[in-house]
Amino acid sequence: MDVPTAAISRFRHSVVTGGAGFLGSHLCTALLESGSQVTCVDDFCTGRRENVAHLTGRPGFTLLEADICHPFEVDTASPPPDLVLNFASPASPADYLRMPLHTLETGSSGTRNALALARRHGARFVHASTSEAYGDPQEHPQSERYWGHVNPVGPRSVYDEAKRFGEALTAAEARTHGSNVGIVRLFNTYGPRMRGYDGRAVPTFVRQALAGEELTVTGDGRQTRSLAYVDDTVHGVLAMAGSELLGPVNIGNPDEITMQELAELVIELTGSSSGLRFVERPSDDPAVRCPDITLARGKLQWEPCVAAREGLERTIGWFRRHHTSG
């Protein structure tokens, strides 16, 4: 991964909560490659040890098994942490619908404990929020000024509201304590280390196509998503970490694709003979999702550079090499 070291070279000890998850593990790798010591904190309710196996034993990397819903501390002997990236949370529908209360507690108590760790050490803190904060949006594309259109009691709300509360808590921390905090709203990210059965579109379609199964497209397939390859998202998060912005700042790819187009592209790239099967659309599933990244372009000098075809080819290659069923 080509790490934007200029933005983060000052960080000597970075803590990544949820660091053994899909996105968290890529952040741990990038930070370690930038020269920072890295403490990966994970309770492994959805994260996997194999995601950070390539880092285990490397100088400067520490794996701490802990649930951030309870107060926690990291090794501060040398040096104390100066960056905390809060990425702990079940993120896929399969996970947060299975663990609704834990998802809410992670967004509330977990975020508060991660903020407390950063405050104790005067560290920069970046909270990973989500485009789900916009709900089923009535503004398109979605800018950070949009307050959203969210069902607070629907089945998806356990994730939406956990992240929205985390944003409110992070902003209150800045107002109350003057802490150096930031908020990123991440749009759909995909890439290596995703789990084939996590319920998200890209890994589901890739797994099904490689197995020769029908690709299950929800609804009529015309709903859109904006897909960012994981390297692009990591670069955006680290650019935010290296800034002094509070945010929120959208990090995502503004190139939209319908779910039917995505499924057909996966079939093409895998060379699969699979067809499509249309199934019932989940409750509160957004019809459109596309970020306005004007703020990220202007303030962070960041924008995605990996096109969908290239990113999907890399992802499919990883799935071919790792016959994961998780």
Residues labelled catalytic? 159
Contact indicator for 198, 189 with CB cutoff of 8 Å? no
Contact indicator for 55, 99 with CB cutoff of 8 Å? no
The closest of 312, 102, 306 to 201, measured between CA atoms, is: 312
Rounded to an integer, what distance in angstroms lies between the CA atom of residue 60 and that of residue 2?
19
Rounded to an integer, what distance in angstroms lies between the CA atom of residue 304 and that of residue 295?
13
Give kind and range of the element (H or E) at residue 63.
strand 61-65
Partners of 17 in beta bridges? 41, 86
Fill in the amino acid letter for 174. A
- Span between the terminal Cα atoms of the chain, in Å: 24
Rounded to an integer, what distance in angstroms lies between the CA atom of residue 213 and that of residue 279?
14
Report the half-sphere exposure of 55 (CA within 13 A, side-chain side).
Answer: 27
Partners of 276 in beta bridges? 215
Q: Which two tokens stand for residue 16?
A: 């990544």
Contact indicator for 29, 60 with CB cutoff of 8 Å? no
Alpha-helical runs (H) found in the chain: 5-8, 22-33, 93-96, 100-105, 111-121, 157-177, 201-210, 230-241, 259-270, 294-300, 308-321
Rounded to an integer, what distance in angstroms lies between the CA atom of residue 251 and that of residue 228?
9
Cβ atoms < 10 Å from Cβ of 270: 21
Report the half-sphere exposure of 160 (CA within 13 A, side-chain side).
Answer: 20
Rounded to an integer, what distance in angstroms lies between the CA atom of residue 69 and that of residue 2?
33
